[in-house]
Copies of this chain bind each other. A is one copy, B any other.
Amino acid sequence: MSKGAGGALLDMLAVRRTPGRPIYRQIFAGIRERILRGELAVGTRLPSTRTLARELSVSRHTVMQAFEQLQAEGLISSQVGDGAYVLDGGAGHGFAAAPDKPSEAGPDIAPRQVALSSRGARLAGSGLARRPELAQRAFYPGLPALDLFPRAVWRRLSNRHLAASGTGLYGYGDVAGLPALRAALADYLQVARGMTVAADDVVVLSSTWQALDIALRLAGDTGDRAWLENPGPEQVHAVVRAAGMSPVSVPTDADGLVVAEGEKRAADARLAIVNPSHQFSTGGVMSLARREALLAWARRSQALVVENDYECEFRYDDRPLTPLHALDGGQGVLYLGTFSNILGPGLRLAYAVVPPGLRTAFLAAKQVVSGHTALFNQAVLADFIGEGYLVSHIRRLRDAYGERRRALMQALTAQLGSRATLHATGRGTSLILELYDGQAAAISRAAAAQGVAVKPLDAYYQAGADLNALVLGYAAVTEAEVPRAVARLKAAFERS
């Protein structure tokens, strides 16, 4: 080798004694980089291990480890008594000559784009919003009361399973969910929702998003249509678009989804995604006539009804209505529930009650997209439900939400009563504030700057509803916090 190459190599090999970063790996990585960049040409003889060890002040054994690794990678040939030579592994295979040679790409060079498929572009471009920082939790709709998380009970039940001697919770689980949890959920749904459900009908999932993604892929092809309630959460539109399908907005009135209008707009839709026990914004419930019309359409057209029974637990004046699932005998309705708004979204636990005719397909699809759901929290939740904590926790939430709602209504009336009217419904966890003057979008922006998240009601409507109102979620805002948060909202009114 030329003196120059060896000198350059030594200059480059800056060895640092960093814990967890073995010296031999540093030497190996340094030489490898030079070879791959073509800076050490094929046939170059490397300095001897003895020389390198002395110059770098490391043991010869360390250098030999690095050389062994270089040899294993096919970058050098190294034979006892002969020294080590650079092989044609680097530049010789077109690596260095590639137009977008990666080792030259510094952080200032734009990353190479990976080509997306058509469906990939749709999936990536759905526009599903990421959740806001918790700093803005007042009054972001849909955030649960994390301050009421049943910490002590959860810890005790967790420790029961952490201390158990079995290995079951660390191994492979049933893709349908932990049997104990499925049984507990079936019992719970029977009592709380009047549904006739067996443990076998229940599939545990990590979120309702996962259930929707599976349902859309199973029931719809690219270009197929799905009915969605208008108004309704924009996220559901995003998920439908992400699946390559067309969301069809079906209007709702005081009786819920106008099924006849859905049939007029898209009788051939493959799915309808609805929340009959909690119509968004109107706060109404879908009437029995409409529920039957929806089921009749679904039966005629072999479409799947997805009943996303979100927030069915939170009713203050009356009791929840019978789910579509129960009306239909569970034959053509995929019923979805979640613990995100009861315990917290961090747990990632939701469930579906799957019609018998869809069960095999649903489980096969879930096996593909994720396999079984994480086991530990399933076991804790099964105990939590089975030992009665869920029912009392929901009661506690319902009481607290009732109080938070009252506190919010009082504060809004006191501070903003002259500027807006309040529309409170007997369910859910949000209120609607209809503005006399000002502009909802502008106030929403000004409120964000004040650290308060209020969404314009328009955002829940497809095709400009021209409603000058704001949606305020109150579940995550304690009574003590309400007055200050409303004061900040008032400031936003003044600055918008």
Within 8 A of B (CB), among A268-293: 270, 287-289, 292-293
User: Which of A29, A187, A362, A367 lies at the interface centre, i.e. has the most chain B CB atoms within 10 A of its CB?
Assistant: A367
A292-337 residues with Cβ-Cβ distance < 8 A to B are: 292-293, 295-296, 299, 302-304, 318-319, 321-322, 327-332
Contact yes or no, B124 A365, CB < 8 A: yes
Cβ of A114 < 8 Å from any Cβ of B?
yes
User: Which residues of A pack against B, CB within 8 Å?
Assistant: 20-22, 25, 28-29, 32, 36, 68-69, 72-75, 89, 93-95, 98, 100, 102-103, 105, 111-121, 123-126, 128, 130-131, 134, 143-144, 146-147, 149, 151, 154-155, 158-159, 162-163, 167-173, 175, 187, 190-191, 194, 206-207, 209-210, 213, 217-222, 224, 238-239, 242, 270, 287-289, 292-293, 295-296, 299, 302-304, 318-319, 321-322, 327-332, 343-348, 355-358, 360-362, 364-365, 367-377, 391
A221 cross-chain contacts in B, Cβ below 8 A: 117-120
Complex contact B370–A128 (CB within 8 A): no
Q: Is the CB of A210 within 8 A of B377?
A: no
* A369 & B210 in contact (Cβ 8 Å cutoff): yes
Q: Is A100's CB under 8 angstroms from B370's CB?
A: no
Q: Is A371's CB under 8 angstroms from B120's CB?
A: no
Give the one of A154, A222, A302, A346 with max B CB within 10 A. A346
User: From A373, which residue of chain B is reached at the shortest CB distance?
Assistant: B348
In the assembled complex, the Cα of A159 lies from the Cα of B160 at a distance in Å of: 12
A363 to chain B minimum Cβ distance, whole angstroms, is 8
Q: How far is the CB of A282 from chain B (nearest CB, A)?
A: 16
The reply to whether A346 and B374 form a contact with Cβ atoms under 8 Å apart is yes
- Of A120, A158, A321, A377, chain B has the most CB atoms within 10 Å of the CB of A120
Give chain B nearest CB distance to A177 CB in angstroms.
13
> Which residues of B sit under 8 angstroms from A321, Cβ to Cβ?
72-73
Assembly CA distance A123 to B369 (angstroms) = 9
CA gap between A119 and B433 in the complex, in Å = 43
Closest B residue, CB atoms, query A348: B374
Q: A190-B21, A296-B95, A331-B100 are in contact. Are A74 and B289 (CB under 8 A)?
A: yes
Which residues of B have CB within 8 Å of A117?
Answer: 217-221, 224, 270
A191 to B151, CA, bound (A): 37
> Min CB distance, A124 to chain B, in Å?
4
Known A116-B219, A319-B72; contact A360-B105, beta-carbon cutoff 8 A = no
12 A-B pairs whose Cβ atoms sit less than 8 Å apart in the complex: A20-B187, A25-B191, A72-B319, A73-B321, A100-B331, A117-B217, A124-B364, A124-B365, A130-B367, A170-B344, A206-B373, A242-B365
B119, B172, B322: which contacts A32 (Cβ < 8 A)?
B322
Expressed in whole angstroms, the minimum distance between the Cβ of A448 and any Cβ of chain B is 17
Q: Are A357 and B114 in contact (CB under 8 A)?
A: yes
Residues of B within 8 A of A130 (CB): 175, 367
Check B169 against A346 for contact (C-beta < 8 Å): yes
Contact call B371/A345, Cβ cutoff below 8 A: yes
